[in-house]
C-alpha cells in the first residue's frame, strides 16, 4: 500500500470520527442546557412558589407514581445522579431552597402531612388528623410512635421548635414567611397549633414540602446547632438517615430500620447521591450500570432514550404550565400596547411551541392552570389558539407598528428552542425577536429587573398557595420581588387574587380564578404555552419512581 | 542559585496582584448579584441590600480589592465561599490534590505515548508510518477533549463496563480523565521528540558511533535519545503547569471534584471569593511549577545554567529544536 492510499484511508477515518464527534457535540450542547434548565426550573418554581404535583405520562415513556409499593428490604445500594451538589442539606436554618437539597432532605425527615401526588389529596404523616381552628390557625394531632434520630419520641415541642427555625433564618423564604411563630404553640405533648400569617386553606398542602421537615431541638444541638446541622443533618424521623457527605463527590444515606411506618419497606439499604452537571454523562452512568437514576434530564434529551432497551425514560407533567408574559411597565412601549400583545398572541403557533417544549409529547395549554389542577378552567378554545397572521398584522397596523418592531426575550439556554419557534412566528408578522440567553445569575437579575419585553416563566398551579399568581401581585411588583411577569397590575386583579386564595369553598375558588383568567385573556396580559415536564433516565429494571413536591423525585421508594 | 530562586519567588507578587486585579475588574463587569445568589430568589430587596452591605459589595472596587489583598497578606485568608460559608482555601486544597493527581497521570500518558510515537516517527521518517503517526497524533490534538471524553465513556463505561462513567470513588475513575487530557498532548510530544531525534541523529558524534560499528539500537537508545529528551523534558514541565487548571471541562464531564470544576461552578454561582481563590492558587502553583521545571533543566543539562539564571538572554540550543 503506498503513501497516498494510506493517507487517504487515514483521512477518511478521521472524517468519519469527526462526524461522530459532531454528533457528540450536539449532545453536549443540549447538555449545556441542562444545568440551565435545572436552574430555570428552580427559578420558575421559586417565582411561582407553589406546588405539589400531578402526574401525566408520555406515550412510550414510563410515568411517575405508577408502580405498586415495594415489599422487600435488601442490602443493595441505589446510586442517583443529580445535576448539582447542594450547598447545604437542611435549607431552613440557612434560608436556602435548593432543589437537590429538598430531594435529599425529604428522605431524612417527615412532615406533618403528605400529599398524594396521584390524587393531590392531603394525607396524614406525622399528624394523624387536623382541624382549622380559624382561618389562620390549624390544630394538628401528632403520632405517638415516632422516634427521632437521637432515640427520643416526637413531641409537640419538636414541632414548635421546627416552626421557630422555619421562621428564623428562613423568614424570607416560603418556608418561613407564611408561618406565624408567635401564635404557634404546643397544646399538649402530642397536639400542636400552627399559626399562619395569611388565610389560605391550601397552605396545608405546602406543609408537605421537605423544608417543613420536623426535627427536634436536642438532635439539632447534638449536631452542633442549626447552622452546623444544615451540613450534617443527623436529624428527623425519616425513612433514611444521613451517613456521609464527601464534598464534591457524593452524599450517602442509610435506611432507617426503625422507621415508624411499618407499612413502608425500603428496598435499598443505602442511597448514594452523586453530582454530574453534564446530563449526557449522567445518563451514560445509568447505561453503564454505575448509577440507577439520572435525575433532571432536559426533556428533549431524555426523549432520545425512549427507544433504548438499556434504560427506561421517565417523563411526567407536574402541574407547572409555561406562560409567556408581556412586560407592561413603563419603558416597554410596544408590549405596553394591548394591540401589540394581541398581535403576538395571534401570531404564535402554540402547537409548534408545545411540540418543541415537550419534545413532541405535549399539547398547547388552553388555560392558565394545569389540566390536572382542581382549579383548571379552559379559557381558550382550540380555534382561538390557531395562528392568525393576518389578524396579527392588522392589529400591529392599528397599533402603529405596520413597519415592524423589535422585541427582546430573555431566558436560560433551555428555552432557546421555544423562543426560536416564536422568533419565526413573529418574523412572519414583521416583529424581530432578539433572544437573549444568559446564565442563571444574569437571568435572575434581568428577570427581577424587568429587562425584557417578553419572558417565558412557568408557574406551578395545582393549589392555591399564598404565592399564587405572584406576577400580578402589586406588593411583589412594587418591591421587585418576582421573576418575570408583566411588572404591572391593577388593584382589581390584585384584590381578586387575594380573595381566590383565601376562599374556603374550592368550587367557588375555581370560579373566581376563572374570572381572573378571563380578565388576563381580555387584556392579553399573558399567553399560556404548554404543561412543562420533568424527565429522568433510570435503569431498565428499576421501579417505584414516585414524586414529592414540585414533581421532584422521591428517592425512598425505588425497588427492583 | 539561591538569589535566582528568591528573585523568581518575588515575581509571584506582581503575578498574583495582576491575576487578582483582572478578576476584580471582570467581577465588576459581570452581571448577576452575588447577594441575590446567596439569599436566593425569595429574598426581598431590603435583604439583598443588607447582604451587599455586609459583604462590602457596595464599596468601591479598589477598596474591596485592597481589603482582599490585605486579608491574604496578613492572615492568609483567601475569603469565605458565598455558597458554603467555608474558607475558600480549605475547599480548594483537597480539590487541588485531586487535579494534581489527574494532571500527573495525564502528562505521563501523553509523554509516554508521544515519545514512543516521536521516536517511531523519526526512525521511519518520510515513510507511511511517519505519516500515520502524524495523523493519529494530530487527530487527538484536534478533537475537543470533551468529545473524546464522551466517546471514552461510551466505549469503556457504557459498552464494555470496565471503567466508571463518572466520579473518582475508585482509582479506576481517574483513568478516563487522565486519558482524555493525556491524548490531547500526544501530538505535541510526538512532534518535539521527532524533531529533536532527527536533529540529534544527524550530529557528528552519531556518525562517529556508526563508524565505530555501534548497533542502530545502541545508537538510538544510548546516544541519541538521552540528548533528544532535553526539549521533551522542558515541554513536560510546561504541560504540568498548563494541565492543572486546564481540565475544567473534563472535570465537569467526568464529575471530578477538582479545582477546575470548582472554579467553573463558582463562576456560574457568582461565588467570587471562590473564583478568586481558585485562580490565585492556580497562579501560585503554575509559577512554582515553572520555577521547579527551570531548576530541573539545570540538573538535566548543566550547560543551561547560565542561560536560565541570566533570565534567558540566550536561548538554549535544544529549546530551539523544540520550537522548530
Q: What is the pLDDT of residues A17-76, one digit of tens each?
A: 443 333 333 332 222 222 222 333 333 333 333 333 334 455 568 889 889 999 999 999
HSE-up (13 A, CA, CB side) for residue B99: 32
User: Tens digit of pLDDT per residue, chain B (324 long)?
Assistant: 777 778 878 887 888 888 888 888 887 777 777 787 777 666 777 778 888 888 888 888 889 889 888 988 898 888 888 888 889 999 999 999 999 999 999 999 999 999 999 999 998 888 999 999 989 888 888 888 888 888 999 999 988 989 998 888 889 999 999 999 888 888 889 999 999 999 988 889 888 988 888 888 888 888 888 788 888 887 887 777 777 766 777 888 888 889 988 988 888 777 888 988 888 888 888 888 878 877 777 776 766 666 666 655 444 444 444 433
B22 CB-near residues (< 8 Å, 6+ apart): none
* B225 within some domain: yes
Angle, to 10 degrees, between the axis of helix B145-152 and the axis of helix A3-48?
90
Residues counted in chain A? 560
In angstroms, how far is CA A137 from the centroid of its own chain?
A: 28
Q: Does B151 touch chain A (CB under 8 A)?
A: yes
Q: Residues A523-536: what's their mean pLDDT?
A: 96
Question: Would you call B153 and A289 a contact, using CB atoms and an 8 Å cutoff?
Answer: no
Can you list the alpha helix ranges (DSSP code H) found in A168-239?
Answer: 174-177, 203-206, 217-222, 226-231
* CA distance readout (Å), B29 to A9, B17, B18, B33, B265: 50, 19, 17, 11, 19
Write the pLDDT tens digit of every residue in A330-341. 999 999 999 999
Q: Which helix (H) or strand (E) holds A541?
A: none
Please tell me what DSSP assigns to residue A370: -
B33 CB-near residues (< 8 Å, 6+ apart): A441, A444, A445, B48, B52, B270
Task: For residues A235 and A150, give the distance between their C-alpha atoms in angstroms, rounded to a whole number.
Answer: 8
Torsion angle of alpha carbons A216, A222, A224, A225, nearest 10°?
20
Average pLDDT over chain A reads 87
* B141 within some domain: yes
Q: Is the dihedral of CA A414, A417, A423, A425 positive or negative?
A: negative
Q: 3-class DSSP state for residue A42?
A: helix
For B251, nearest residue in chain A (alpha carbons): A276
In chain B, positions 251-290, which contact chain A (CB-CB < 8 Å)? 252-255, 257, 261-262, 265, 268-270
The C-alpha cell 498548563 sits at B242
Burial of A359 (0-12, 13-18, 19+ CB in 10 A): buried
Q: Which residues of B touch A442 (CB under 8 A)?
A: 31-32
Are the C-beta atoms of A379 and A368 separated by less than 8 Å?
A: yes
Q: How far is B153 from chain A (nearest CA, A)?
A: 7
Question: Would you call A479 and B45 a contact, using CB atoms and an 8 Å cutoff?
Answer: yes
For B83, nearest residue in chain A (alpha carbons): A87
Count of domains for chain B: 1
Q: Which residues of A touch B158 (CB under 8 A)?
A: 284, 287-288, 310
* CA distance readout (Å), A42 to A17, A50, A483: 38, 12, 11
Question: Would you call A172 and B164 a contact, using CB atoms and an 8 Å cutoff?
Answer: no
**Residues pairing with A82 in the sheet:** A275
Least confident span in A9-23, A30-44, A190-204: A30-44
What is the ipTM score, two decimals? 0.74
* B189 within some domain: yes
Q: Please say if the pLDDT value at position A485 is more than 90.
A: yes
In this structure, how many other beta carbons lie within 10 angstroms of the beta carbon of residue B74?
A: 8
Q: 3-class DSSP state for residue A473?
A: coil
Residue A443, phi then psi, degrees to nearest 5: -60, -45
Task: For residues A139 and A141, give the distance between their C-alpha atoms in angstroms, rounded to a whole number.
Answer: 7
Phi-psi region of B60 (alpha: psi -120 to 50; beta: other; left: phi over 0): beta
Q: What's the grid cell of residue B272?
A: 467570587
Q: Which residues of A touch B31 (CB under 8 A)?
A: 438, 441-442, 445-446
Question: Would you call B37 and A96 a contact, using CB atoms and an 8 Å cutoff?
Answer: no
Domain residues for the domain of B232 are 95-254
Question: Would you call B39 and A282 a contact, using CB atoms and an 8 Å cutoff?
Answer: no
**HEC-encoded secondary structure of chain B:** CHHHHHHHHHCHHHHHHHHHHHHHHHHHHCCCCHHHHHHCCCCCHHHHHHHHHHHCCCCCHHHHHHHHHHHHHHHCCCCECCCCCCEHHHHHHHHHHHHHHHHHHHHHHHHHHHHHHHHHHHHCCCCHHHHHHHHHHHHHHHCCHHHHHHHHHHHHHHHCCCCCCCCCCCHHHHHHHHHHHHHHCHHHHHHHHHHHHHHHHCCHHHHHHHHCCCCHHHHHHHHHHHHHHHHHHHHHHHHHHHHHHHCHHHHHHCCCCCHHHHHHHHHHCCCHHHHHHHHHHHHHHHHHHHHHHHHHHHHHCHHHHHHHHCCCCCCCHHHHHHHC
Q: How far is A259 from chain B (nearest CA, A)?
A: 30
Q: Which of A174, A278, A480 sits opposite B42 (nearest CB)?
A: A174
Q: Does A287 touch chain B (CB under 8 A)?
A: yes
Q: Does B130 touch chain A (CB under 8 A)?
A: no
* B174 within some domain: yes
* B182 within some domain: yes
Task: For residues A476 and A466, give the distance between their C-alpha atoms in angstroms, rounded to a whole number.
Answer: 12
In this structure, how many other beta carbons lie within 10 angstroms of the beta carbon of residue A15?
A: 10
pLDDT at position A130, please? 96
* B219 within some domain: yes
Task: For residues B59 and A407, give the distance between their C-alpha atoms in angstroms, rounded to a whole number.
Answer: 35
CA A300, A301, A303 angle in degrees (round to 5)?
70
Q: How far is A87 from chain B (nearest CA, A)?
A: 5
Q: How far is B1 from chain A (nearest CA, A)?
A: 41
**Residues pairing with A533 in the sheet:** A317
In chain A, positions 335-394, which contact chain B (CB-CB < 8 Å)? none
Pick the residue of A177, A248, A438 with the most B CBs within 10 A to test the interface with B by mutation.
Answer: A248
* B179 within some domain: yes
The C-alpha cell 389542577 sits at A373
User: Which residue did the predictor score with more confidence, A9 or A280?
Assistant: A280
Q: Does A21 touch chain B (CB under 8 A)?
A: yes
CATH number of domain containing B245: 1.10.3720.10
pLDDT at position B281, please? 86
pTM: 0.82
Q: Which residues of B touch A172 (CB under 8 A)?
A: 39-40, 42-44, 47
A4 CB-near residues (< 8 Å, 6+ apart): none
In chain A, positions 27-86, which contact chain B (CB-CB < 8 Å)? 27-28, 35, 42-43, 46-47, 49, 81, 84
Q: Does A479 touch chain B (CB under 8 A)?
A: yes
Residues counted in chain B? 324
pLDDT at position B276, please? 87
Q: Does A440 touch chain B (CB under 8 A)?
A: yes
pLDDT at position B311, please? 57
Q: Does B44 touch chain A (CB under 8 A)?
A: yes
Task: For residues A457 and A325, give the distance between their C-alpha atoms in angstroms, rounded to a whole number.
Answer: 7
Question: Would you call B84 and A88 a contact, using CB atoms and an 8 Å cutoff?
Answer: yes
Question: Would you call B131 and A446 a contact, using CB atoms and an 8 Å cutoff?
Answer: no
pLDDT at position B291, please? 81
* B131 within some domain: yes
Q: Is the dihedral of CA B151, B153, B159, B162 positive or negative?
A: positive
Q: How far is B24 from chain A (nearest CA, A)?
A: 17
pLDDT at position B310, please? 62
Least confident span in A129-133, A172-176, A178-182: A172-176
In this structure, how many other beta carbons lie within 10 angstroms of the beta carbon of residue B202?
A: 10
Question: Would you call A281 and B153 a contact, using CB atoms and an 8 Å cutoff?
Answer: yes
Q: Does A88 touch chain B (CB under 8 A)?
A: yes
Q: Which residues of B touch A10 (CB under 8 A)?
A: 131-132, 135-136
Amino acid at each position: 500500500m503506498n503513501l497516498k492510499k494510506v493517507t487517504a484511508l487515514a483521512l477518511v477515518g478521521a472524517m468519519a470520527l469527526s462526524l461522530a464527534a459532531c454528533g457528540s457535540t450536539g449532545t453536549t450542547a443540549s447538555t449545556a442546557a441542562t444545568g440551565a434548565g435545572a436552574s430555570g426550573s428552580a427559578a420558575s418554581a421559586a417565582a411561582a412558589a407553589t406546588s405539589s404535583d400531578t402526574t401525566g405520562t408520555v406515550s412510550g415513556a414510563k410515568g411517575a407514581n405508577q408502580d405498586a409499593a415495594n415489599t422487600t428490604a435488601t442490602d443493595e445500594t441505589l446510586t442517583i445522579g443529580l445535576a448539582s451538589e447542594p450547598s447545604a442539606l437542611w435549607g431552613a436554618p440557612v434560608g436556602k431552597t435548593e432543589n437537590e437539597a429538598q430531594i435529599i432532605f425529604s428522605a431524612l425527615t417527615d412532615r406533618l402531612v403528605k400529599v398524594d401526588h396521584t390524587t393531590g389529596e392531603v394525607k396524614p404523616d406525622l399528624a394523624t388528623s387536623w382541624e382549622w381552628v380559624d382561618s389562620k390557625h390549624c390544630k394538628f394531632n401528632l403520632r405517638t410512635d415516632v422516634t427521632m434520630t437521637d432515640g427520643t419520641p416526637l413531641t409537640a415541642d419538636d414541632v414548635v421548635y421546627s416552626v421557630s427555625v422555619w421562621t428564623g433564618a428562613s423568614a424570607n423564604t416560603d418556608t418561613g414567611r407564611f408561618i406565624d411563630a408567635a401564635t404557634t404553640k404546643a397544646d399538649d405533648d402530642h397536639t400542636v397549633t400552627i399559626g399562619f400569617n395569611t388565610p389560605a386553606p391550601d397552605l396545608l398542602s405546602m406543609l408537605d414540602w421537605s423544608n417543613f421537615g420536623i426535627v427536634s431541638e436536642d438532635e439539632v444541638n447534638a449536631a452542633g446547632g442549626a447552622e452546623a446541622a444544615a451540613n450534617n443533618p443527623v436529624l428527623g424521623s425519616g425513612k433514611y438517615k444521613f451517613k456521609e457527605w464527601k464534598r464534591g463527590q457524593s452524599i450517602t444515606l442509610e435506611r432507617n430500620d426503625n422507621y415508624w411506618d411499618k407499612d413502608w419497606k425500603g428496598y435499598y439499604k443505602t442511597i448514594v447521591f452523586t453530582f454530574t452537571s453534564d446530563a449526557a454523562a449522567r445518563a451514560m452512568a445509568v447505561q453503564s450500570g454505575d448509577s440507577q437514576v439520572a435525575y433532571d434530564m432536559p426533556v428533549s434529551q431524555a426523549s432520545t432514550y425512549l427507544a433504548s432497551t438499556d434504560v427506561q425514560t421517565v417523563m411526567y407533567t407536574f402541574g407547572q404550565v409555561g406562560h409567556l408574559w408581556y412586560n407592561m411597565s413603563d419603558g416597554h412601549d410596544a408590549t405596553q400596547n394591548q394591540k401589540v400583545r394581541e398581535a403576538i398572541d395571534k401570531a404564535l403557533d402554540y402547537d409548534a411551541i408545545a411540540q418543541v417544549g415537550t419534545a413532541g409529547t405535549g399539547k398547547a395549554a388552553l388555560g392558565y392552570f394545569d389540566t390536572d389542577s382542581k382549579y383548571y378552567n379552559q379559557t381558550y378554545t382550540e380555534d382561538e389558539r390557531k395562528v392568525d397572521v393576518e389578524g396579527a398584522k392588522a392589529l400591529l397596523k392599528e397599533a402603529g407598528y405596520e413597519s415592524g418592531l423589535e422585541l427582546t426575550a430573555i431566558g436560560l439556554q433551555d428555552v432557546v428552542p421555544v423562543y426560536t419557534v416564536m422568533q419565526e412566528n413573529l418574523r412572519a408578522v414583521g416583529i424581530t425577536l432578539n433572544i437573549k440567553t444568559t446564565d442563571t445569575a444574569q437571568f435572575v437579575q434581568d428577570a427581577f429587573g424587568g429587562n425584557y419585553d417578553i419572558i417565558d416563566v412557568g408557574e406551578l398551579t395545582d393549589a392555591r398557595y399564598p404565592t399564587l399568581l405572584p406576577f400580578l401581585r402589586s406588593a411583589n411588583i412594587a418591591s421587585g420581588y418576582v421573576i418575570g411577569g408583566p411588572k404591572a397590575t391593577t388593584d382589581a386583579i390584585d384584590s381578586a387574587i387575594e380573595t381566590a386564595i383565601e376562599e374556603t369553598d374550592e368550587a367557588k375558588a375555581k370560579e373566581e380564578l376563572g374570572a381572573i383568567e378571563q380578565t388576563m385573556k381580555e387584556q392579553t396580559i399573558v399567553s399560556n404555552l404548554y404543561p412543562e415536564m420533568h424527565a429522568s433516565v433510570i435503569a431498565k429494571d428499576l421501579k417505584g419512581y414516585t414524586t414529592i413536591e414540585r414533581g421532584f423525585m422521591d428517592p425512598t421508594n425505588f425497588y427492583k | 542559585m539561591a538569589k535566582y530562586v528568591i528573585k523568581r519567588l518575588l515575581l509571584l507578587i506582581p503575578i498574583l496582584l495582576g491575576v487578582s486585579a483582572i478578576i476584580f475588574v471582570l467581577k465588576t463587569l459581570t452581571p448577576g448579584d452575588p447577594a441575590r445568589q446567596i439569599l436566593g430568589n425569595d429574598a426581598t430587596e431590603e435583604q439583598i441590600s443588607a447582604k451587599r452591605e455586609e459583604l462590602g459589595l457596595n464599596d468601591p472596587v479598589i477598596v474591596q480589592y485592597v481589603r482582599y489583598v490585605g486579608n491574604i497578606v496578613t492572615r492568609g485568608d483567601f475569603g469565605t465561599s458565598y455558597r458554603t460559608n467555608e474558607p475558600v482555601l480549605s475547599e480548594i486544597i483537597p480539590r487541588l490534590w485531586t487535579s494534581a493527581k489527574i494532571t500527573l497521570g495525564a502528562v505521563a500518558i501523553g509523554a509516554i505515548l508521544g515519545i514512543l510515537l516521536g521516536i517511531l516517527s523519526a526512525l521511519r521518517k518520510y515513510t507511511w508510518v511517519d505519516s500515520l503517526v502524524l495523523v493519529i497524533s494530530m487527530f487527538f490534538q484536534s478533537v475537543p477533549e470533551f468529545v473524546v471524553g464522551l466517546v471514552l465513556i461510551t466505549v469503556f463505561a457504557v459498552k464494555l463496563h470496565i471503567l466508571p462513567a463518572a466520579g473518582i470513588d475508585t482509582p479506576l475513575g481517574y483513568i478516563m480523565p487522565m486519558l482524555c487530557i493525556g491524548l490531547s498532548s500526544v501530538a505535541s510530544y510526538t512532534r518535539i521528540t521527532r524533531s529533536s531525534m532527527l536533529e540529534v541523529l544527524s550530529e557528528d558524534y552519531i556518525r562517529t558511533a556508526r563508524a565505530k560499528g555501534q548497533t542502530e539500537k545502541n545508537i538510538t537508545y544510548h546516544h541519541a535519545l538521552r540528548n533528544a529528551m532535553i526539549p521533551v523534558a522542558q515541554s513536560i514541565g510546561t504541560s504540568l503547569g498548563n494541565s492543572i487548571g486546564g481540565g475544567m471541562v473534563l472535570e465537569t464531564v467526568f464529575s471530578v471534584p477538582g479545582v477546575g470544576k470548582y472554579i467553573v461552578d463558582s463562576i456560574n454561582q457568582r461565588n467570587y471569593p471562590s473564583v478568586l481563590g481558585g485562580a490565585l492558587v492556580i497562579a501560585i502553583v503554575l509559577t512554582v511549577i515553572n520555577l521547579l521545571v527551570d531548576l530541573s533543566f539545570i540538573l538535566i543539562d548543566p550547560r543551561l545554567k547560565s542561560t536560565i539564571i541570566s533570565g534567558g538572554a540566550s536561548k538554549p540550543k535544544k529549546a530551539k529544536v523544540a520550537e522548530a
